Structure 1
Amino acid sequence: MGLFRRGPKRDGRDAPRDPEFSFFSADEGARFRAQVREAFAEQGLEVTVYTDMVSDSAGRQFGLGNLAAVCHNDERGPRVWPELIHQHVGMVLRTMDAPSALETLPAEQIRAQLYPRVVGAEGLDPRNFAYARTVAPGLYEILALDLPESVMMLTDEALEPLGDLPYLRDQALYNLRGLPVEAHETVKDSEGMRFEVVLGDSFYTASRVLALETLVRQVTGEELTADGALVAMPFRHQLAFHAIHDTGMLPALNAMAAFAATGYEDTPGAISPYVYWWHGGTLTQLSDRDEDGEGLQIMIGEEFQELLERLVAKEKGHLGDEN
């Protein structure tokens, strides 16, 4: 899984675009949907294809957004789309047709497979996830059940028979802290800018921001200070961080802002295109789109400004001592 993904060679950007998935050309979108229809037919299910979903005769709806992004981001190009689509459709139908894991798994096993997930507001129905905890503006923590072929996001109704919510959340966080680091890369330049990126196939890689102190210790062997860290969670399989020690956080902040915005675009499981300041478990947004929506801007609030001024003064003091 690369840090900066390169799209496969496909139709040029000057080709007419698909009305729903702009990363596809119109022809690619038509080909993608035809292959989706064919994959369902191979499973014995006739579906009506819409721009963003398909629907069967029983009224079941299957969204296409994540699958379209998976196909778009596969560097092997359109030649592997039929295989990817076939695998996805088979997995979705097996999951839907199988008995609910909440009914078949013992409570102890459910708790052992429980994890917290950080998700964006898009697609999260507050009527079904009233318990969701706000992590940052537009970001929420929910609980999910990890299954062999899928992840079940647990609604209020699903959680009710499982026990006390604070206890379930504590158990989920315990499980999250126990996950291994699948891969780690350092992004740096010749001028000293540096930040760390944790990558993995796990659907909970980005959600490890909820247990950041443990993750930083695993990756760097060091403890976070009270000043915290810069973090970015562009999509579910990546988490970037820079532990704050000095004003070296400023070039890291600018680089991470670009990294987050790029990683967020057209990815399955997109979470946030922004950088945040993690301090004491709280996330404060530091980057945003500029007014015309074309570029990025850094937003520094009063508390972060005080931190920056203190670090600058500290470095000036050290320089004075050396002189």
Structure 2
Amino acid sequence: MAWFKKKPTELERLAGIADDVQLIAMRRFGARGMPVTVLDGTSGLDAVLTTASGDQYPLHNLISRAIAGDLDDVPRLVTHHVDALVDAAAAPNSDQLSDDDWLENVRVRLMPADAATAVGAGYARTFAGGLVEMLCLDYPTHITYLSDAALEGRDPVELAAAGRAAVIADPVENSQEIDPGIWLVQGNSPYTATKALAFEHLAGSALPAAPHGIVFGVPHRHMIVAHAVDSVDSVVAISRLAQFVVAQATDSAPGGPLSSSIYFWYEGSVDVVGWVKDDGSTTISGDGRFGEVLAGLAK
């Protein structure tokens, strides 16, 4: 008889969470009338569920969120995720929407450039530093990203203007100074980081006035970390900001990481001023317009 239960290794613990997520997800898919099986050749952290018709649902991101969160919350997390997927599968296709529905539901969203490539969104407009503006349709239960094919016969410029206006009009949920000179704009909306498209609407309201520009990061979809440049001493706050952004832009971030780069907004344009090097450290560049602004403040 064993008197002491062997403590599981970290690998065994992660595998156990992955198995729990997979089991709960399969049961929920079945309860919603969409039976699934595990795709051949996949398992554990990389498990993929598939329907009889061939639709595939990777579990990697969901498992990562479960590992990073409260284990007691895993059933709710998985149930909510599966329900959103099932509702998305039953939603009308974009070609079934009226023109008014398109304009009401379209949104612009900051996404990694490789996401646009994966979707086939050649129309996506470059933002800066590996980020692009993608179009999507926002439904109550899910978001559908739009490909070039989905936009056939429609004006992407008109849709982007409508989508951008909707994101800007959405109120800021939370804004606070978390460290001297460093502000956090945060919210449950998956478009929170996308508000970085229009700092002219944030400066002087959710953020301090910023006549000399704003240095910022968007580590994931729910967050903007920002510093209003006010003197040459801003480099101290920017260094702390960069460390915070990198710490937040991880695989366990909600929705996955968006960017670990540091950007500078000034007079309506955005430049990359900081990035993570191969050794894991972050470098901040004083070149270009950013350097010119700092030089002007030093006089």
TM-score (norm 2): 0.86
Match of 1:149 in 2: 141
Q: Note if contact 2:124-2:133 (Cα within 8 Å) is conserved in structure 1.
A: yes
Q: Deviations over 1:133-167 (max 9, x none)?
A: 11113111111211101111111122223x32222
In the alignment, the residues of structure 1 paired with residue 119 and residue 201 of structure 2 have an alpha-carbon distance, to the nearest angstrom, of: 33
The structure 2 residue matched to 1:306, chosen from 276, 292, 295, is 292
Range moving further from structure 2, 65-74 or 134-143: 65-74
1:94 and 2:87 aligned: yes
1:235 and 2:220 aligned: yes
1:80 and 2:73 aligned: yes
The structure 2 residue matched to 1:54, chosen from 46, 49, 57, is 49
Q: Note if contact 2:263-2:273 (Cα within 8 Å) is conserved in structure 1.
A: yes
The structure 1 residue matched to 2:203, chosen from 216, 219, 231, is 216
Q: Deviations over 1:251-305 (max 9, x none)?
A: 2211111111111112132210121111233322222223323x33323324423
Q: Deviations over 1:173-218 (max 9, x none)?
A: 2222211111112112xxxx31211111111100011111112233
In the alignment, the residues of structure 1 paired with residue 118 and residue 75 of structure 2 have an alpha-carbon distance, to the nearest angstrom, of: 35
Match of 1:165 in 2: 156
Match of 1:279 in 2: 266
1:33 and 2:22 aligned: yes
The DSSP-based 3-state class of the residue aligned with 1:236 is coil
1:186 and 2:171 aligned: no
Q: Note if contact 1:69-1:268 (Cα within 8 Å) is conserved in structure 2.
A: no
In the alignment, the residues of structure 2 paired with residue 167 and residue 229 of structure 1 have an alpha-carbon distance, to the nearest angstrom, of: 28
Match of 1:317 in 2: none
Q: Note if contact 1:47-1:54 (Cα within 8 Å) is conserved in structure 2.
A: yes
1:259 and 2:254 aligned: no
Identify unmatched segments of 5+ residues in structure 2. Answer: 1-6
Q: Note if contact 1:66-1:267 (Cα within 8 Å) is conserved in structure 2.
A: no
Q: Note if contact 1:177-1:215 (Cα within 8 Å) is conserved in structure 2.
A: no
In the alignment, the residues of structure 2 paired with residue 124 and residue 30 of structure 1 have an alpha-carbon distance, to the nearest angstrom, of: 31
Identify unmatched segments of 5+ residues in structure 1. Answer: 1-10, 18-23, 314-323
The DSSP-based 3-state class of the residue aligned with 1:187 is strand
Q: Note if contact 1:274-1:288 (Cα within 8 Å) is conserved in structure 2.
A: yes
In the alignment, the residues of structure 1 paired with residue 124 and residue 268 of structure 2 have an alpha-carbon distance, to the nearest angstrom, of: 16
In the alignment, the residues of structure 2 paired with residue 140 and residue 57 of structure 1 have an alpha-carbon distance, to the nearest angstrom, of: 35
RMSD: 2.3
What is the letter of the counterpart of residue 307 of structure 1?
A: V
In the alignment, the residues of structure 2 paired with residue 72 and residue 248 of structure 1 have an alpha-carbon distance, to the nearest angstrom, of: 39
Range moving further from structure 2, 236-245 or 35-44: 35-44
CA positional deviation for 1:118 = 0.4
Q: Note if contact 1:181-1:218 (Cα within 8 Å) is conserved in structure 2.
A: no
